[in-house]
Copies of this chain bind each other. A is one copy, B any other.
C-alpha cells in the first residue's frame, strides 16, 4: 500500500490560489475556523487523502456507511477580492513525526502543482487561562509577508509562541519556505483547555480581512456562548470550593 493515497474527483483549474489549513490542534481553533469558512462559501470537495499515517480506523456517517479516516480538500473560485481558495480539513493529523512530514510534504507538492501560491495555516495558541479578547498571533516565511499581514490585525511578538509551532500548521510553513511559497500561521489565543469557538472567530475575522471576505459569525458566536456558559459554571463550582484559585486547571 502506498503511504498516502489521494482520490481526486475533479481537477480544479486554479490561478494564484490560497491554501487554508484547518486540522485539529490546540482548542481546535484552526479546525473550527476552517469549517465555518467552508460552511459560508460555495466550496466543492475535490480530493480525499487516505494514509497509513492516520489511525487504522473507519468512521461512520448517519447511514452507517464507513469511510477510512482521511483529510479532505475543497476549492472555491473567485472568493472575496477574487482569489481562488483551497481548504484542507479533517479529523486527524499524522500520528508520527515521519507521518507529519510526509503528509505536509505531499500536500505542499499537490497544491503547488494545482496553482496554490500562498498558504495560511490556522491554529490556536494555548496560554493556560481564559482569554477575554483573543489576540491573533502570526508566524511567517518572510519578513515582507509579515508587513503585508500586520495591517489586518495579526500581531507579531518576539518569543511567542516560545516553543515554535508543532504539527501541520508548523510544517506547512516550514516546507513552504523551502519551496519558495509565501505562508503564514494565524494563531488565535485560547486557554487550551476547551474546544474554543471564540478563538476560532478571532482567527477567521483576521483571515477574512486578509482575503477581503465578509461572513456571518453568529453560529461561531452562539457556540462560544455555550462553551462560556459551561466553563463559567465550572468556575463557579471551583471558586465556591477554593476561592483563592485563579486559573481553570485542566478540564476535558
Contact = CB atoms under 8 A, between A and B. Distances in A.
Interface of A: 1, 5, 7, 50, 52-60, 62-69, 94-95, 97-98, 100-102, 104-106, 137-143, 146, 156-161, 164-167, 170-171, 173-175, 177-178, 185
Nearest to A156: B64
Contacts of A161: 60
Contacts of A174: 50, 58, 66-69
A contact face: mostly helix, strand, loop, or mixed: mixed
Contacts of A140: 64-66
Contact of A56 (B7, B58, B64, B100): B100
Contact of A170 (B56, B138, B157): B56
Copies in the complex: 4
Given A1-B106, A60-B164, A67-B177, 10 more contacts: A53-B97, A57-B170, A58-B165, A58-B173, A59-B164, A64-B137, A64-B157, A66-B141, A66-B177, A95-B97
Contact of A66 (B66, B97, B170): B170
The CB with the most chain B CB atoms within 10 A, among A98, A137, A138, is that of A98
Given A157-B64, A165-B66, A170-B66, A139 B175 contact: no
Contacts of A177: 66-68
Contacts of A59: 164
A117 to B, nearest CB: 18
| Minimum-distance CB pairs A-B, first 7 | A68-B174, A56-B100, A52-B101, A1-B105, A58-B170, A59-B164, A62-B158
The CB with the most chain B CB atoms within 10 A, among A7, A58, A160, is that of A58
Contacts of A1: 101-102, 105-106
